[in-house]
Structures are given as C-alpha cells and as structure tokens.
Structure 1
Amino acid sequence: MVASKATKDPQPDTFKEEGSSRGARKFEKKVQFYTKVKDTVASLNASKAIGKKKTHRRNRQKQLKAYNLSALLEGLPELRESWQLPATTKKLSSKSRQKLIETEGKQLLAVINHPNYQSNPLAAIQRHLESTQPVIVEEPKKKTKKTGKKSKASSDAQAMDI
C-alpha cells in the first residue's frame, strides 16, 4: 500500500522535505501556483501595455497626418474661397415646420410687395446681399523657402489652428 501512494504522487520529491507535514507541502504547492499565476498576469499586462503604446503611437501619427491639410489648401486656393462648413440640419417637428412655413411666407410676400424689388428685382437682391454678407478679405500667401518648403514653425502653427 505504501508503494501505491508513491506512484500516485505526480511530483514525488519536489514538495517533500524531510520532516514536513502534509499541510506544509500543500501550502508550498499553493504558494508556487500563485506565484506562477502572478508571473503570468504580470507578463500579460506588460505585453498589453506594449501593445497599447504601439496603437497609441499609431493613432497619434494618424491624427497628426489628418490635421496637416495646409499643403492641400495651398494647392487648391480656388476651393478655399468656396469651401464652407456643412450646415447642421435638425429634424423639425410638424408644428415647428408649419410655423417656419408661415413666417417665411410672410417674409416672401413682404419682399415681393417692396417697391425696390418690384422696380428691379436683381438690383434689390444684390443690395440686400451686399448689406448682409460679411466682406471677404483675402490674406496674402505665406512666404516659402527657396526649396519650396514652408518653415516648420508656420506649418506647426497651421496644424494647431485646425
């Protein structure tokens, strides 16, 4: 019977010390298991942190590339003038839509019945737009170096403006 106990023991001499009790051996086995688990968790966390750093760096580079559109805007000056932000559209409720239609209808009737509009509609619209629209002032182009590249300071400032 003693021989059968020795064959059932998976690691016969690793936990047995002379004079140690069964409880002490079990405790040592648990301690070794928990240290292995702790080491495994630490290594997994380290590899996860490395992966996070790589993805963070990659995302940051993508953001910096996305913000630097100054070269594109310089190449397309005619589009810069006509470029506007898209207007955000809200869904109107039926009641507010009806109210908007009424107010716009009244405004249209007032414009149509105005004597300036009746005498010369295009000139009246032109005067109205000139008085209500802001004046567009063109800014001079930034100076470039002889190599055709802009200085770093000016490109960084433009990247931050966006």
Structure 2
Amino acid sequence: MGKPNARSDASESKLHLKFDKKELFYAKVKYSAASLAAQKSIAKKSKQERRQEKKLKAYSLSSLLETLPELKEQLKAPLKPQEANFKLNCKNRQKLVLEEGKNLSEIFKNHSFQTNPLAAIHQHLRNKQPVPVVEEQQPKKKANVNGSRKRKMKKARAGVQSMDML
C-alpha cells in the first residue's frame, strides 16, 4: 500500500509546481500591467504639457512685438504733401517733368549705370517693386455630376406639390 501513497505525493508536488508557476505568471502580469499603467500616465502628462506649451506659443505676442517697431516707423513716416493729394494739372506736370529730368541726369552720372545700364535698371526695379504675395491655390473640387440631376428632381417635385395645393 506504499505505492498509492507515493503517487499521491508525486501528484501533490505536480499540483504544487503548477500552482507556483501560475503564481509567478500572475505576478509577472501584475507587474507588467502596473508598469504599462505608469508608462501611460507619463505619456499622458507629457502630451498634456506639450499641448499647453503649444497653446502658450500660439498666444505669445513676442513675435508681434518684434515687428511692431518697424510698422510704427513706417506709419509715422509722413507722406509727401504732393503724394497725398496729387492732381495732374499743367503746373504740377511742369514740376514733375523738371524733377524727373534732374533724376535722369543723376542716373546718367551714376557709375553703375555707366558700366552696365541694363543691370542698373534691373536692380533699381527689383528694389522698388513690392514683394509679390504668392497665394496658395486650392485644388479644384470635382463637379458633382448627379447634383444637378438631384436639384432638378427636387425642383420638379416642389412644382408638383405646389400644384397639388391649388
């Protein structure tokens, strides 16, 4: 009768080993779940901080403050009284011709114009022209082929309904 006793001890030890393995497995799962939860909370906090920083950058007016003095200077620069209300009559035309004649003689005396006139004119125009603003072109929407048909059907139904009311 000693043999059945030995078998029960072996089966109990196997059960005990299985139980220990399960305990280890559950401990590992619990540990990994806790570490994942910690990682998630850390990631969530960092995302929240980044969002707040972006909001602060969006509401920051420091970049505007840097450009404001330049704008103030441009606005404060007084316009010439002639440019403010300039009417081209005979007297003003005569003054304009004299001024442009003086400017032309100064241009002819300029050394850069004498060496390469076309390059000097090109450079002058480049400096005087405003910077072109490039507008982004939005992609064209595809024409809805069925849309017009639907509108026609809707109008036709509305017409029929209005006639029914009469």
The answer, yes or no, to whether TM exceeds 0.5 is no
- TM-score bracket relative to the smaller structure: 0.3 to 0.5
Greater Rg, structure 1 or structure 2?
2
Normalising by structure 1, report the TM-score.
0.40
Which is bigger in relative contact order (C-alpha 8 A, separation at least 6)?
A: 1
